[in-house]
Amino acid sequence: MAHDSIYPSNDFPEKSPSENDFPVNKRDNDIDTEQAYPITRTEIEAPPDDGYGWIYVLCVFLINAHMWGINSSYGIFPAHYLETNTFPGASDLDFAFVGGLSLSMAQFIAPVATITTREWGARITLTIGIILQTAALLGASWSTEIWQLFLSQGVCFGFEMGMQFSATVGMIPQWSDRRRSLANGIWTTRSGIRGLIHSLASSALIQRWGTGWACRVLAIASAFSCGFSTIIIKDRNKAIGAVQIASHTSLLKRPEFLLTLSWGSLSVLGYVALVSQYPPTQTRWALPYLKGRFLVLCLILEEALADPL
């Protein structure tokens, strides 16, 4: 019967395996591909949600906080440059160009940072970023002409931002699974909180010692904090099998990607315009020193509150 052919009865004797069922000399390398893939997936360890994983989250927060905090507090400096005529012949548009140049250089160097992270690891990429960050701030502190500020605060600091951001942007999901939303919420407050702290500190340093020593103090503080975090930090790119591609040109054929890219570019353009034009507006309207700084602090405080949302 057909039923018996599908569900054999216990009355039939057991059939011994034949050579067609199993190979006689089966080697260890002959593994069924359908069984191999689940084994590969189970070898990947799940991200830890507590313990040392939160230390890595804190390190990523500190690195990005100094990077974005210094970039946000740059709006404090142009007003003092214009008041004291630190760079003769420079206009408020030149100082706004410095802020935009740093962010554009960060995006320009991102493919290189992806390659160095893939080949040498995140720690080497972060070390390069720390060297560039320190050199940029020290160079800005000794700049006497506007083109020197373009190279230091614009190009060099922008390269630093691209190296550090590209090396750390994917680390938070690697160390958090169930509490990933909380970890990302902590990370997204880095620019607003540190921008507020850096702006207050920079304003006090400028009033007391000038822009030169303000940049030097920021260079020393950021180098120490980022250097300490880089020593502790560790990525899980090899553990999770991350594939880091420097340039994926096929994405340029997708309209949704182009729309997202345009949205990001326009958002950065508006951000730079706001941060860079507050201090020159203060000078143009002859506002008191504290009121002009208060406008920048209000903008950065709004950023700190809105980023997690």
pLDDT digits (tens, 9 = 90+) for 89-131: 888 788 888 888 888 899 889 889 989 988 888 899 999 999 9
Q: Report the distance separating Cα 55 and Cα 263, nearest Å.
A: 33
CATH number of this structure's domain 48-238+253-306, picked from the four choices 1.10.3720.10, 1.10.760.10, 1.20.210.10, 1.20.1250.20: 1.20.1250.20
**What band does 250 get if pLDDT is binned at 50, 70 and 90?**
confident
Residue 92 to residues 13, 89, 154, Cα–Cα distance (Å): 94, 10, 15
Mean pLDDT of 275-296: 58
* 44-48, 69-73, 150-154: which is most confident: 150-154
What's the pLDDT score for residue 27?
45
Q: Strand runs (DSSP E) across 123-179, as ranges?
A: none
> Under DSSP, is residue 182 helix (H, G, I), strand (E, B) or coil?
helix
Mean pLDDT of 242-254: 75
What's the pLDDT score for residue 193?
67
Q: Would you state the structure tokens that stand for residue 123, as one six-digit string?
A: 């720690």
Q: Report the distance separating Cα 97 and Cα 101, nearest Å.
A: 6
CB 296, CB 173: distance < 8 Å: no
* 153-157, 178-182, 250-254: which is most confident: 153-157
What's the pLDDT score for residue 2?
44
**What band does 194 get if pLDDT is binned at 50, 70 and 90?**
low
pTM of the predicted protein model: 0.74
Q: Would you state the structure tokens that stand for residue 212, as one six-digit string?
A: 């030169």
Does the pLDDT at position 30 exceed 50? no
CB 113, CB 167: distance < 8 Å: yes
Q: Report the distance separating Cα 73 and Cα 63, nearest Å.
A: 16
